[in-house]
Amino acid sequence: MNMVEQISTLSISKLQKAFDLAAPRKQYLFVDTGCEPLYTDEPFRTETYSVVWLRQGVMHLQADLTSTVITGPAVITLGPSVTRSFRRSDERPDMQLFFFTADFLLETLANIFYLDRYRFFEDNEGHVLQLHEQEAFRLASIFNLVSGVFGRMHPNEPQLMRSYGYLLIHEIDAIHRSRSAGQQPDEGNLLFTRFRNLLTKEFWRHRTVGFYASNLNVTPKYLSEVIKKQSGKTAGEWINKAVMLEARVLLQNRTLSIARVSERLSFSDQSVFGKFFKTHQGLSPAEYRKSLSQ
């Protein structure tokens, strides 16, 4: 697979280039087994929704602030706003990937908020589902339909691909519902989940533990204690991790000056941002950006 130019957000056309696919598609893309994911330590996003069917093998996924080692069979769902990176493992994954834009899937629907109902595309807790045998069989059946149509000159390929997208979403939703039925939520884990979801939305402008504690209706001390117990990291460490992840994404976009990156992350000035970045990355923003092209 060719390396994509340093870029933080990948469109359909750039995904096609990354996977060495010649057939032009503007709104959806299917990648069959034999192609590897975009292995990179540098975080990136896509302009699409992504459904990955991991049949077997192992993948290391960083999705926003959550690191997961995934063993097949499993399904992975990632929305456009999710920052992700993939690392190699000793056991090469055997998988299929389906990418589609919101415009493509919603083209025939009156409800423009359809995708918002399915939180597993954006929710930190919902990106990965390890599958039981029967669940894996049902997912495999749908991906076999996708594989049988994509790139095979079918006159109704777009319409069928859209229908298979609906099928995948509803099947994955059913699995999530079956897993959560009858479960009693752990209060500490629930607070941790709410904290991470709030952090994903607010880190770029709020970096104090007090802000998150206030919005979650707990004291900063209690929030810090629960987060530390649940994850082994303090709330402050989670906040810094989120800011650094976004900073690395933004610095890949060379059309943004370092001063502009600093401004987007709500630092008082470029110097403060530079000190923060170097403390956590070991390189200045300029040095980090230069290292991307080496």
Note whether 127 and 201 are same-domain residues. no
Task: Look up the domain containing 171 and give its range.
Answer: 9-180
Residue 214 lies in a domain: yes
CATH number of the domain residue 29 falls in: 2.60.120.280
Give yes or no for residue 36 having a pLDDT over 90.
no
Give yes or no for residue 291 having a pLDDT over 90.
no
Of the residues 180, 210, 233, the one at which a domain ends: 180
Note whether 87 and 154 are same-domain residues. yes
Note whether 41 and 175 are same-domain residues. yes
Note whether 168 and 194 are same-domain residues. no
Note whether 197 and 168 are same-domain residues. no
Give the pLDDT band of residue 26 (cuts 50, 70, 90): confident
Residue 79 lies in a domain: yes
CATH number of the domain residue 278 falls in: 1.10.10.60
How does strand 66-71 pair with strand 58-63? antiparallel
Note whether 50 and 126 are same-domain residues. yes
Residue 63 lies in a domain: yes
**CA 58 from centroid of its chain's CA atoms:** 17
Give yes or no for residue 3 having a pLDDT over 70.
no
Residues whose CB is less than 8 angstroms from the CB of residue 33 and which lie 6 or more positions away in sequence, other chains included: 55, 94, 95, 96
Note whether 175 and 250 are same-domain residues. no
Residues whose CB is less than 8 angstroms from the CB of residue 74 and which lie 6 or more positions away in sequence, other chains included: 54, 128, 129, 130, 131
Residues whose CB is less than 8 angstroms from the CB of residue 236 and which lie 6 or more positions away in sequence, other chains included: 209, 224
Residue 1 lies in a domain: no
pLDDT of residue 1: 35
CA pair distance 41, 62, nearest whole angstrom: 9
pLDDT tens, position by position, 73-126: 999 999 998 888 887 777 788 899 999 999 999 998 888 889 988 989 988 778
pLDDT tens, position by position, 198-241: 998 899 899 999 999 999 999 999 999 999 998 888 999 999 98
pLDDT tens, position by position, 174-206: 999 998 776 666 788 889 888 988 998 899 899
Q: At which residue do the structure tokens 């697979």 appear? A: 1
Give yes or no for residue 4 having a pLDDT over 50.
no
Give yes or no for residue 12 having a pLDDT over 90.
no
Residue 96 lies in a domain: yes
Note whether 89 and 228 are same-domain residues. no
Of the residues 163, 180, 197, the one at which a domain ends: 180
Give the pLDDT band of residue 145 (cuts 50, 70, 90): very high
pLDDT of residue 23: 67
Note whether 52 and 156 are same-domain residues. yes
The count of structural domains within the chain is: 2
Residue 46 lies in a domain: yes
Of the residues 180, 210, 239, the one at which a domain ends: 180
- Count CA within 13 A, CB hemisphere, residue 11: 7
pLDDT of residue 2: 35
Note whether 153 and 91 are same-domain residues. yes
Note whether 146 and 228 are same-domain residues. no
Note whether 145 and 272 are same-domain residues. no
CA pair distance 128, 85, nearest whole angstrom: 14
Residue 117 lies in a domain: yes
Residue 208 lies in a domain: yes
